[in-house]
Chains A and B, each alone.
Chain A
Amino acid sequence: MTLARHRGGGVILLTFVVALLLTIVPLPEWARYARPDWVGLVLIYWCLALPDRVGVITGWFAGLLVDLVTGTILGQHALSLTIVAYLTQRLHQRIRLFPILQQAFTVMILLILHQLLALWISRIIGRPGAPWYFWAPSLLGMLLWPVVFVMLRNMRHRFRVR
């Protein structure tokens, strides 16, 4: 665990910054509810690829930033992304071996869990329930997973992030 082994922390940071940007970039009204959870996808990828570097702590801080940029109650995304990061880290050896479609399905389960926690929290603080399209981001996340996976993997190899 020396510093020499770890490379390309900037690249990881950059992917998170881009994901945060994509989280608040204005979308047309019809697409607003179907915004994929970019930060969640990026976090899952890094937890799979570098479980010894990116994990619960990164997830917590990323979630806190998501809370800030989206104006939700502080700690909501932090909590759910922490749990997502923990599960991914625990299961990374299994998920890595899955074929890409099965991986995408697992990612969807993780994202649904993430959204379910968000829904619970918002119900606890007294906000109304969600319509059916509340779950669209998870589905989109599954469809986007192969793209995100290939893109981030190429990036990781290119910049030799370890």
Chain B
Amino acid sequence: MFVALSTVLMVMDHKYDNLASLRAGLSLIVYPLQQIIELPGTVSDWFGESLSTRRRLQEENDSLRTQQLMQKVQMQKLASLESENIRLRELLDSSFEVGEKVLIAELMSVNLDPYKHQIVVNKGELHDIYPGQPLLDAKGVMGQIVHAGPYTSTAVLITDTSHAIPVQVNRTGLRTIALGSGTINRLDLPYIPNNADIRPGDLLITSGLGGRFPPGYPVATVQGVRHDPGQSFSQVVATPMAELNRSREVLLVWPGISTTLEPAVPADAANTPSIDVVTPDETTGSGAEPPVDASAAAEPETP
């Protein structure tokens, strides 16, 4: 009887998602266990913060201040570029979302099934987390939420074998799909034709197709391209930008909801050259879209 029961459970969990509420409810039971595991880390963090010396704190403060200054400068450029971008888009009569609502979450230090690339974050449905929500870190896309419990949620990383993410090559606009390889530092791009323009070092960004990930976030850099004349597709592997096994703080994004960034700098700064803006999020997201159409038109020519 229990065998039948668990089989039914598995089928329901795999094929349909009507077990989400059951899983959410049961995850409440598991939450204390996860908290106990977290405890040593939390305590040592607390001690580390309260016992660190004045000098170290000052040093950290200084470095953070310089970092913030640098980023402010970059933000100024970004703001001007954004306003320019919005103006241009208005001319083209197309809407463009400036920024997304984000929430910072922390990973919980619990280990899951070692053969699945999953992580647990310490935010849940009570923070409006929903299944399918994109998860980023400071450097790029990490994955997406699969189960949202009340206080915690489980996310699957982009390198999990069951995960695929629509991407495009930032340089050429070539769109493709990056599949998880099961190895933490590798993504496979199996659907690139042999004659496609792709080189090691190319940046892959989210294309926004599929509607799950917002467009323009960096995903990976191309590591190696191998053309096999006997195959119709070349074998391309890429390294994820996000520090999938090192990040502790992660960002959860709500793609639909935008927080408008006010342009901090008036229009006279808008004609500064825009080459070295470090945050590629908005600039590439908008700049790369016209080539998408071009590549879409070019794709049918491939044999």
Which residues of A does B touch, CB under 8 Å?
17, 20-21, 24-27, 29, 32-33, 35, 56-57, 59-60, 63-65, 68-76, 78-79, 82-83, 121-122, 125-128, 130, 134
- In the docked arrangement, what's the CA distance between A56 and B4, Å? 13
Main secondary structure of the interface of B (DSSP, over half): helix
Contact B116 A78 (CB under 8 A): no
Q: Size class of B's contact patch? A: 35 or more
Of A25, A35, A126, the residue contacting B114 (CB under 8 A) is A35
Contact B26 A70 (CB under 8 A): no
B23-54 Cβ-contact flags toward A at 8 Å (1 or 0): 10011011001101100000000000000000
Main secondary structure of the interface of A (DSSP, over half): helix
B157–chain A nearest beta-carbon distance, Å: 12
- In the docked arrangement, what's the CA distance between A65 and B25, Å? 12
8 contacts between A and B (CB under 8 A): A17-B33, A21-B37, A25-B110, A29-B245, A65-B26, A78-B6, A79-B3, A128-B182
- The 10 lowest CB-CB distance pairs between A and B, nearest first, are A75-B9, A79-B6, A75-B10, A75-B6, A78-B6, A24-B110, A74-B13, A71-B112, A32-B114, A82-B2
- In the docked arrangement, what's the CA distance between A64 and B64, Å? 45
Known: A20-B33, A65-B29. A71 touches B118 (CB 8 A): yes
Instruction: Give the residue name and chain of the B residue nearest to A134 (CB).
Output: B115
Known: A24-B34, A68-B23, A75-B13. A127 touches B115 (CB 8 A): yes
- In the docked arrangement, what's the CA distance between A150 and B10, Å? 35
Contacts of A75 in B (CB 8 A): 5-10, 13
Contacts of A25 in B (CB 8 A): 37, 110-111
Contact B115 A60 (CB under 8 A): no
Which residues of B does A touch, CB under 8 Å?
2-3, 5-10, 12-14, 19, 22-23, 26-27, 29-30, 33-34, 36-37, 109-116, 118, 120, 147, 154, 161-162, 182, 245
Instruction: Give the residue name and chain of the B residue nearest to A75 (CB).
Output: B9
- In the docked arrangement, what's the CA distance between A57 and B13, Å? 20
Contacts of A79 in B (CB 8 A): 2-3, 6-7, 10
Of A20, A69, A74, the residue contacting B9 (CB under 8 A) is A74
Contacts of B23 in A (CB 8 A): 68, 74
